[in-house]
Amino acid sequence: MKLTDFFENVPDIEIKSLMDDSRKKRPNSIFFCVKGLVNDGHEHIDEAIANGAIVIVHSEPIEKINPDITYIKVKDVVHVFNQVADSFYDYPSHHMTMYGVTGTNGKSSVAWIIRNILNQIEPTAYVGTISIEYNNVKLPPLVASPNIDEVHGILRDMVDAGIKNCAYEASSIAIDQGRLDAIDFDVAIFTNLTHDHLDYHGTMTNYFNAKKKLFDQLKEEAIAIVNVDDPSGMKIVQDTQAKVFTYGIDYEADYRVTDYHLLKDSTRFTLHINDHDYRLETNLIARFNIYNLVAAIAAIHQKGVSMDDIASYIQHLNQVEGRMERIQDGQPFNLIVDFAHTADGIEKVCQYASSITPKDCRIIAITGSAGKRDTAKRPIFGEILDHYCDMIILTEDDSRGESVREIAEDIAKGIHHKNYVIIEDRYDAIRQSVELCSEGDTILVLGKGNEKFIAREFGRESYEGDDVICHEVLKKYYFGDEGGLDETE
């Protein structure tokens, strides 16, 4: 494309790529001087030019001018970057039905469920912390604050591959930094708001306002789906132009669950919509997954899929990777992997474990907490585990160079009654939980889910994922390399 396709009164030069990371080689590119939390693009202009930038979009004065480079001064670099990226990739989000999901907990599950249901009707993509998936393509997940160019490039690839819908996890950080501003969301879903990311947002008010921005930006013909049971539910849509629909269990809602039955391997519930009751059954488990499922149902139903079709689609959904994932290799105890890394998320998983674990059996939890992040929640984790669990193993999460033992000791400040042990190596922690386990017990492996890395001091190091390790540990240390038991035995 030509530079004149994006700006007026500029040279008629060919543009082949966009960039905001000066370290990447991008020939014939436009470099956007984005100001981040740590780095300011204005300080890396020379490096960007060395790596192929021929146009610099900036908001601050430039002292050193290169006569071979075109400089374009704007008021808001991020806003312009969004507009240029959307145009450069030919407005990809306008060619799909875009479902944006935000909230402290449940984003991955809701987006994953939407993709699973719609994919049975027409090609649907998923973008989030689990992965990026469409058709037979599976890519590593985006970081919490994805590059604007990267986002639109991925969406373009999806459109070119024939994708009709995309379920997208919209993190509060990405929303706050304006990195999703040019995505044309047709549906936005709010799950809940609890303590998280305060190391970035500072206050719960700022955290709330970041998520609210997604709904404030919706077009008039869009749809907003909100959890009416959450105190922030109706507040988050008070200024939206979109049409609002509610879901919940405890309060009156457009999509209300009137009764439910939680089983070890399935859930049954009644969903009341427009004076009609639908008896539904799904292979998803836990009360909080009812919320996640109904949020997805409401969004899809409002976009035209019949409830009769939805009822059949939800019976055998693909398990959400690393989210309430039941590891079933024939062992006589429950083993559940979940991404829970907030107080609310951990408590909900523990509550479910309490409901399925016999009174004379134990709940064993393995967890940690992220290093150099929101330290105030650590003792709260300990209090929750102390209340619900019988044995607690504290281990590494994304330590980022902080002492694993010191993080564990912070969590332990909230543990006053139950036994706990610190096992810094996460693999060993999972192994020892299995070796401690007896028939009927429940093991909860919390915090990492299916993530294939552990963030340490100098970046991400490869990690198999809790789900993979659980299978390995069962095979090697419980079954002695003989594999799982035949469930018919």
Tokens, residue 250: 């405890």
Q: How far apart are CA 117 and CA 282, in angstroms?
A: 12
- Pairing state between β 137-139 and 132-134: antiparallel
User: Is 318 annotated for ligand binding?
Assistant: no
Locate all alpha helices (DSSP H) within 12-137, ordered by sequence.
Answer: 45-50, 77-88, 107-118
DSSP state at residue 319: P
User: Is 177 annotated for ligand binding?
Assistant: yes
Q: Map residue 146 onto helix, strand or coil.
A: coil
User: Is 105 annotated for ligand binding?
Assistant: yes
User: Is 171 annotated for ligand binding?
Assistant: yes
Assess contact for 338 and 446: CB atoms under 8 A: yes
User: Is 179 annotated for ligand binding?
Assistant: yes
Find, among 129, 10, 128, 24, the residue nearest to 80 by Cα. 10
User: Is 145 annotated for ligand binding?
Assistant: no
**Cβ-Cβ contacts under 8 Å for 475 (sequence gap 6 or more):** 329, 481, 482, 483, 484
With tokens 């693909």, the residue in question is 318
User: Is 106 annotated for ligand binding?
Assistant: yes
With tokens 């060919």, the residue in question is 14
For residue 98, count other CB atoms closer than 10 A to its CB: 24
User: Is 22 annotated for ligand binding?
Assistant: yes
Alpha carbons within 13 A on the beta-carbon side of 188: 32
- Return binding residues for ATP: 103-109
Binding residue numbers: 22, 103-109, 171, 177, 179
